[in-house]
Structure 1
Amino acid sequence: MDALDDGDDVPQLPANTLRLLDEFATEKNTAAQKFKDLKLQSEGDFDGRLSMEVFSEDWGRVLRMNVRFVYYDLEHPLQLPAELKNKFDRIICDPPFLSDDCQTKTALTVRYLAKSWTAENGTSDGLRFISCTGERVGEIIARLYGKVGVKTTTFEPEHSKGLSNEFRCYANFECSAWTWRGA
């Protein structure tokens, strides 16, 4: 006899819960498609029409790559699949905390993922790197990413929730959307 034929009711979620789950799935699918479109755009020239609205706010510990997700624990920044080591030439990061510890651990992960870690004529050899984080951690950003030519740009990220911290965009390349600050 089938377990479902024993006369017991099959548990079901309430309709409003199912609706919320459906909305959540739709939002995640939309964000995944935007991310996929952004990846395709990044393979061409960056035209500066990028906003943080493309990315969903996720205070969890997830490393986003392409369309798949890989569990990432900030406390163990190098515990990543070996097949990801030295595979990426485009990295965008937004570290979750404005502390030296968080910035250092993020940099360890970036270095693990990056194809190269050398600078050549003010830009790195193939790596295009962006970090949007607080202005107050600018000195440690300069120390951690100086070898790949990261500098403060003129682009000023704004948080949609209106956080009071001043944010900066640090990158190792210039484009039509920004130049080097103070240049």
Structure 2
Amino acid sequence: MLKKDPSLQVQLLEYDMRFERYGNYNEPEDLPLELKHCFNIIVADPPYLSKECLERVTQTVSFLASPVGSLLLLLTGDAQRDRAAELLGAPCVFKPHLSSKLGNE
């Protein structure tokens, strides 16, 4: 059964050219200071074929993550596995098996 917790706070940060007015991809830490180091759980889903994007997402994650005990779920492709481990200091620990065929892993 799904339990709801009204004290749980969620913040969605999205970058897409259609949303450019809300942030600047070229400045990954250009975020409100009240968000700095205040998240215990971060889910990031950057375009996995872009090395530059992963580097900038890493900067944003570092800005947002609580300095103690934060968790990161990074959704990326196999092409970025080693780079993600290098940048974030964590290996890939889950590889899904998909029923549909994708153009890349």
TM-score of the superposed pair, with normalisation by structure 1:
0.44
Is residue 72 of structure 2 the alignment partner of residue 133 of structure 1? no
The answer for the alignment partner of 1:109 in structure 2 is 60
Contact in 2 for aligned 1:88/1:113 (Cα 8 Å) = yes
Q: What CA deviation, in whole Å up to 9, does each residue of 1:85-122 have, x standing for no partner? A: 11101000000241211100000000000111xxxxxx
Distance (Å, rounded) in 2 between the aligned partners of 1:80 and 1:104: 16
Structure 1: give runs of 5+ residues left out of the alignment: 1-36, 44-57, 63-69, 117-124, 167-183
- Aligned-residue CA RMSD in angstroms? 3.0
Cα separation, partners in 2 of 1:139 and 1:39, compared to 1, 3 Å: farther
Is residue 16 of structure 2 the alignment partner of residue 60 of structure 1? yes
Question: Does 1 or 2 have the higher relative contact order (CA < 8 Å, sep 6+)?
Answer: 2
Percent identity over the alignment?
32
Contact in 2 for aligned 1:90/1:128 (Cα 8 Å) = yes
Alpha-carbon shift at residue 39 of structure 1 (Å): 8.4
Distance (Å, rounded) in 1 between the aligned partners of 2:61 and 2:4: 18
Cα separation, partners in 2 of 1:102 and 1:39, compared to 1, 3 Å: farther
How many pairs does the alignment contain? 94
The answer for the alignment partner of 2:34 in structure 1 is 83
Alpha-carbon shift at residue 83 of structure 1 (Å): 0.7
- Larger Rg computed on CA atoms: 1
Cα separation, partners in 2 of 1:76 and 1:163, compared to 1, 3 Å: farther
Distance (Å, rounded) in 2 between the aligned partners of 1:60 and 1:38: 32
Cα separation, partners in 2 of 1:138 and 1:155, compared to 1, 3 Å: closer
The answer for the alignment partner of 1:143 in structure 2 is 86
Report the residue type matching 2:104 in the other structure: N
Cα separation, partners in 2 of 1:144 and 1:135, compared to 1, 3 Å: same
Distance (Å, rounded) in 2 between the aligned partners of 1:114 and 1:140: 19
Alpha-carbon shift at residue 135 of structure 1 (Å): 0.5
What SS does the aligned partner of 1:151 have? coil
Alpha-carbon shift at residue 38 of structure 1 (Å): 9.5
Contact in 1 for aligned 2:36/2:63 (Cα 8 Å) = yes
State the 4+ residue runs in structure 1 displaced beyond 3 angstroms.
Answer: 37-40
